[in-house]
Amino acid sequence: MIDFGEHQPEKKFLDMTPMLDVVFLLLIFFLLTSIFSKPSIPLNLPEAETGVKRTETITSITVKSDGGLLLDDVAMEPAQLFETLANQLEKEQERSVSVASDRDVPFGRVVEVMDRSRKAGARDIAVVTEQKQ
């Protein structure tokens, strides 16, 4: 009789390497897409038939329905808007600003934001609207 030594049972387990590869790929995908996605603020924009689409990126000011202000999606107080916008516009050649406002915001508030923008050095001020259906 031939003795092949002691019989050792085979280890039975699942190979986790492919699953970990997929998990890490998904993690990298979601990290990269979250970096490049721009957070959106729900606004009920006014409608206009004669609106023109602009393709270049410009500084944006958002006036929320509760009266809060966002400068390029960063919340700020009205007193901060002038200084921060002036510093930002100094670095730009275009000096263009877009103002997006909820349709329920009083027009006087929008004019106040536009006036502060002009005082901060904005040459062109665009009002963001939705295309009328």
Express each pLDDT in 14-61 by its tens digit: 888 999 999 999 999 988 887 766 555 566 666 666 666 665 667 888
The structure's pTM equals 0.57
Please say if the pLDDT value at position 107 is more than 80. Answer: yes
Please say if the pLDDT value at position 62 is more than 80. Answer: yes
Q: Give the chain's domains with CATH numbers.
A: 47-131 (3.30.420)
DSSP lists the bridge partners of residue 97 as 59, 125
In the structure encoding, which two tokens stand for residue 123, read together? 């040459």
CA–CA dist 60, 39 (Å, integer): 13
Averaged pLDDT score across all residues of the chain? 78
Please say if the pLDDT value at position 129 is more than 90. Answer: no
